[in-house]
Amino acid sequence: MTYDMNDAELPRGSDLIPDGSFVKVTMHLRKGGLDGQGEADRGLLKATKTPGSDVKMLDCEFTVTAGPHIRRKFWQTFTVIGGKVDEQGVSIGWKISKGVFRAMIDSALGLDSQDMSEAAKARRMLRGLSDLHGITFAAKVRVEPASDPRYSDSNRLDRVVLPGEPEYARVMAGEAVPAQPSNRSARPPAATATTPPAWAAPGAATPSAAAPRMWERPAATSPAPVAPQPAEPSLTAPAMGGPAWLNG
């Protein structure tokens, strides 16, 4: 039997959003089973997998809602409780996360980050972190190289795009905005199926039936580990009923 490879679909490129892309995203929270600080955040947080760590995190899924990368997703966690603390005993991870959450609110509502009027401050008040479920804002996305070469690179939130930035209005309007790649160097891409095997070079001998093909694994070799896939969002959403201005 012969196989005609001429009509086969070429391998698709990475599903990653290109590094430095500006996108409009909606963030949904995925319950982790641990209680936060308040009734609204019951069962909302997720424990870290690091043995002995007291860190509790907010598990977030981001979905692009407009533009050329619409419906693409990426995932990220934010420390809420635990980890290293500052001189006042406050979690350093939480301080960083809190700043990001505030920026999300400013971006979602079109608030000037320098506006500390009573009206603006009132709009930044949350009854619980669950109020962030469904928030839509402008973001810049980066590609984060995998720490283990067996796994794929991934998208992460590089930063929140705030009102007043030149890209903000266009991103929120769903327009395509030129990417501004970060200075982080991604891991070189792995060879793809489009690279011809050695035996396909002109004049090269065809592989013998007894020799394993380049894509075959000897029986004694253990299967390569598979990168874990992100879990699907919980069917039971976090406690909702949040402010209409945030959850739309």
pLDDT at position 242 over 70: no
110-119: average pLDDT: 96
Tokens describing residue 190? 């792995």
pLDDT at position 135 over 50: yes
Is residue 215 included in any domain, yes or no?
Answer: no
**What pLDDT does residue 66 have?**
95
Q: Which residues of 123-159 are buried (b: 16+ CB within 10 A; e: fewer)?
A: beebebbbbbbbbbbbbbbbbbeeeeeeeeebbebbe
**What pLDDT does residue 10 have?**
56
What tens digit of pLDDT does each residue of 136-177 get? 999 999 999 988 888 889 999 999 999 999 999 999 999 999
| Residue in 48, 35, 58, 34 with CA at minimum distance from that of residue 83 | 48
Is residue 4 included in any domain, yes or no?
Answer: no
Is residue 214 included in any domain, yes or no?
Answer: no
Is residue 25 included in any domain, yes or no?
Answer: yes
Is residue 8 included in any domain, yes or no?
Answer: no
Q: pLDDT category, 101, cuts 50, 70, 90? A: very high
What is the domain range of residue 35?
A: 21-183+233-247
What tens digit of pLDDT does each residue of 179-228 get? 999 766 545 444 444 444 444 455 544 444 444 433 233 444 444 444 44
157, 27 Cβ separation under 8 angstroms: no
pLDDT at position 87 over 70: yes
153, 187 Cβ separation under 8 angstroms: yes
Most confident option among 1-10, 111-120, 201-210 = 111-120
Total count of domains within the chain: 1
Single pTM value for the model: 0.72
